[in-house]
Amino acid sequence: MRNRLGLIALVLWLVTAVGLGVLFVHGRTEKAPDGRTAILMSAAERDFVFTEMRGLLVAVRDITAALAEGDTVKVAAAAKAMGMGEAHDRAPALLAKLPLDFKRLAMTLHGGFDEMAEAAAKGETPAQLNTRLIAQLDRCTVCHAGFRIDVAQ
């Protein structure tokens, strides 16, 4: 009897681990009619993600303005605000709903802002920083071309 309970516990543990692994990789998604991957979440979670995206857009605007002025101190401040330290741990439950490719893009994007802030602080020229900003915008474009966020029904 004891061996049977142990075996049942092991099987349940394995099923749970596999299920969580699949959720971590695929998130809560479905194929959207437009060919992109639809990430399914609650309306509140969608609002949270869209608020963060608007914050990214504001940072890009601020960085662009600072580059036009040649002010790399402002570039560093705006970029740092969107870096890894500022962007995470605000919605840990949401991470489970995001597919791995989306998570990778987000991590690369926020890490790229950290790199831009460091480069600005170390004296990269506005032209070099603009090249970094273009790479950041390329990440935004890839993400928006491949994903959309839908409210789960």
Q: What is the pLDDT of residues 63-117, one digit of tens each?
A: 999 999 999 999 999 999 999 875 555 677 788 889 999 999 999 999 999 999 9
**By three-state DSSP, how is residue 48 classified?**
helix
Structural domain spans, the chain: 28-151
Cβ-contact 41, 97 below 8 angstroms: yes
Topology, domain 28-151? Four Helix Bundle (Hemerythrin (Met), subunit A) (1.20.120)
- pLDDT for the residue 153: 80
Q: What's this model's pTM, rounded to 2 decimal places? A: 0.79
- pLDDT for the residue 85: 79
Q: How confident is the model at residue 132 (pLDDT cuts 50, 70, 90)?
A: very high
Q: What is the pLDDT of residues 8-63, one digit of tens each?
A: 665 565 555 444 444 444 478 999 999 999 999 999 999 999 999 999 999 999 99
Which letter, b or e, does each residue of 84-108 get, where b requires 16 or more Cβ atoms within 10 Å of its Cβ?
A: beebeeeeeebeebbbebbeebbee
Cβ-contact 147, 39 below 8 angstroms: yes
Taking the mean position of all CA atoms in its chain, how far away is CA 114?
14
Side chain identity, residue 8: I
Average pLDDT across the chain, whole number: 86
